[in-house]
Amino acid sequence: MGTEQNQQLADTLEELRQFIPRLIRAAIELSDRFYAPMNDDTWSLLGDVLQAMDDLYRTAQTISTQFGEMHHFSVNGWDMQEFSLKLNGEFQRMNQCTDQEDYVGAGDIFKFELIPPSSAVVASTR
């Protein structure tokens, strides 16, 4: 990997260090809200968190495709391709729960399936 690519990767990981903790805090707040009746604030937070998750998914995909071609790229044991697939799969499960108005199930997916791998990635970029 060239110097420019190393710097690009370092910059991307630094952005993740800043971004993921904010996303985790919002996701924890959202998951807690799923255990209570839904209101306008919860729906608004859901939209914000879903957009942020999509941004994280796209970033993980970019890392996987751009940097993964040069060598096997993993963060804290998480292959970035595996991480992006996990995000995508759990995101789809969470959408199914909300479509079926199973908000407790959606909260559980956030709390137990989406937050832990995101926390592992941010911990490993320190």
- pTM of the predicted protein model: 0.76
Residue from 28, 67, 27 nearest 51 by CA:
27
Spatial separation of the C-alpha atoms in residues 90 and 83, rounded to whole Å: 11
Provide mean pLDDT across the span 53-74. Answer: 71
Question: For the chain, how are helix, strand and coil distributed in percent, rounded to 5?
Answer: 80, 5, 15
- pLDDT at 122 exceeding the cut of 50: yes
Spatial separation of the C-alpha atoms in residues 28 and 114, rounded to whole Å: 10
Neighbours of 37 (CB within 10 A): 7
Spatial separation of the C-alpha atoms in residues 90 and 113, rounded to whole Å: 7
For residue 78, name the pLDDT band (cuts at 50, 70, 90).
Answer: low
